Structure formats: structure tokens, C-alpha cells
Structure 1
């Protein structure tokens, strides 16, 4: 088993139509305003940006995200990531009654040296850290969407 390889899936049930959720999620540069763990997003061009995240543990992770697919009709947003983490992420939005089910999938390898050294003993903590980050992201997005 490669202890630095991770697969994550999060499901967010949101009481807002897909088009509204999609519009918020495609504006990655706005994430720091509603997602506390997304510390910064610096756009390099229309499809690429450098993102820094930090959750409960005192370490930042910085990576370049490059949009690989944007399909509002299918409710898809995909990105390739390189840097402290390398892999891909995907938002898939589907109607859920009057609201939206937002599914986030991420498959990454961790490149950050400290996290690689702590891969075996730290794995359960890193996974819990990701869950906390995603939970905070959902709460922040709900607040953001209610304010819009």
C-alpha cells in the first residue's frame, strides 16, 4: 500500500438549485471568502491558479490547480493538481429535489516532505483533517449561498 496515496469522497446536500451551487463552485478565487481552510487562491490565468490550504494541523499545502473540465450542463468541474499534492479533483452536481447533491471526489498523492515522513502514523489524522476541512467547506458554502 502506498501510504501517501489518498482517495476522498464527500457528499454535500445543499438546499439550493444546481445552477446556483455551480456558479459558486466555479469561482475558485472566491473560496477563501467562504471556506476557512482555503487560505489563498492566486489566479495565473483563466484556467490555472495556485491554492494554499490549511486545516486543523499546523501545516500549509500549496498546489497548482489547472481546470481540465468545465461543463455546467453536466454539473462537472474537474482540475488537475501539482505541488504539495498531485492528482485530480472533481465536483459533480446533481439535482436533489429542489436542492443539489454536490459530490466531491479527489485522488491525490502527497508530495510534501513532512507529510510523507509521517505517512504511516499520521494517515488516520490526515484523513480526519480532510473530513473536518470538507465539513467546514459545506457550512461556509451554505452561509455564502444564503447571503447571495
Structure 2
């Protein structure tokens, strides 16, 4: 599955469709930021909601994520693009979320990086995949809280 298709939803995936866009600013140059974001195995050290990462291969991992919602999401992640020169890290997601996620990095002044995060997914895990539409804003808030926590954690990790 490409990382920026017109429709990221495989025919077999059913559930609410979400599109997320976030922007992080971190106190490190793009090279150091890229290295930290490319090192998926160490995400649990700085991103509290990433509970565990099990490496399957150089480009594949099984990841457990739990935010404020009382459910742990299990994801199989496949790195599709890792291009430091262009500042792009992209993964295909399968499991409880089906779709893709991408970080795109740009310098943001001396010793600072802007990391844009884009994600398009289907929430395929029951019972959340059957959640009524009025709960979707709460799911978005949960995701936003998780992303703010990730930005703060990465900033602390990059400061050393």
C-alpha cells in the first residue's frame, strides 16, 4: 500500500476513517531529529503512549499503543520510505489501525526542526470500529493529546 494514495482504505478495512495532521517543533537539527524518529525501537523511552515495540525485521515492527482511551491498539508497522535527504519517514499500518503515517522534517531555524505528521487510518479494532459518530471528536482529542505528549517527549530526549 503506498503512503499517499487517493484512498488509503483497503477494501477489507471497515470502521471510522480519520485524517490527522500535526506539527511538532523540536530543539534539534533535522539530522538528529530524523535519527530519533527513524529509531522506532526506542520510541517507548520518550513517547509514553508507545508502550512496546517488537522488531520483526529491519523495516517491520509490532507496536502497542495506549493513550487516554481505555484500549491498547496493536499495530504492525512497515517502513516504506526512509529518506533523510528529503526528511521523509513513512510507514504502512496494519492491525487495529489500517492506513499510513508519515513524518516530514524541515529546518526551523538554528538547531530546530519542524516535523509535520500526517496520518490516514481506518480504526479497524472492535468495539471502537463500531463507535457512534458522536464519539469521534473524543477519539480526535485522545489522538491530539498523544501527539502533544510525543512532541514533548521527543524534545526532552533530543535535549539529552
Show structure 1 runs of 4+ deviating over 6 A: none
- Report if the CA contact (8 A) 1:22-1:72 is conserved: yes
Matched residue of 1:113: which SS? coil
Q: Which residue of 1 aligns with 2:8?
A: none
Q: Please list the CA deviations of residues 68-113 of structure 1 after superposition, one character each: whole Å capped at 9, or x if unmatched.
A: 0110000000000000000000000001111110001000001001
Q: Distance in 1 between matches of 2:137 and 2:15?
A: 11
- When the two structures are superposed, what TM-score results if normalisation uses the length of structure 1? 0.96
Q: Does 1:43 align with 2:65?
A: no
From the two aligned structures, give the one with the greater helix fraction.
Answer: 1
Q: 1:74 to 1:93 in 2, by over 3 A?
A: same
Instruction: Please point out which of 7, 13, 20 is paired with 2:25.
Output: 13
Q: Please list the CA deviations of residues 16-48 of structure 1 after superposition, one character each: whole Å capped at 9, or x if unmatched.
A: 100010010000000001100000110000000
Q: Which residue of 1 aligns with 2:68?
A: 56
- When the two structures are superposed, what TM-score results if normalisation uses the length of structure 2? 0.89
Q: Please list the CA deviations of residues 105-125 of structure 1 after superposition, one character each: whole Å capped at 9, or x if unmatched.
A: 000001001111214121010
- Report if the CA contact (8 A) 2:53-2:63 is conserved: yes
Q: Distance in 1 between matches of 2:132 and 2:42?
A: 31
- Report if the CA contact (8 A) 1:3-1:119 is conserved: no
Q: Distance in 2 between matches of 1:107 and 1:47?
A: 20
- Report if the CA contact (8 A) 1:3-1:120 is conserved: no
Q: Distance in 2 between matches of 1:49 and 1:23?
A: 17
Q: Distance in 2 between matches of 1:95 and 1:119?
A: 40
Q: Distance in 2 between matches of 1:88 and 1:60?
A: 18
User: What RMSD, in angstroms, separates the aligned Cα atoms of the two structures?
Assistant: 1.1
- Report if the CA contact (8 A) 1:22-1:93 is conserved: yes
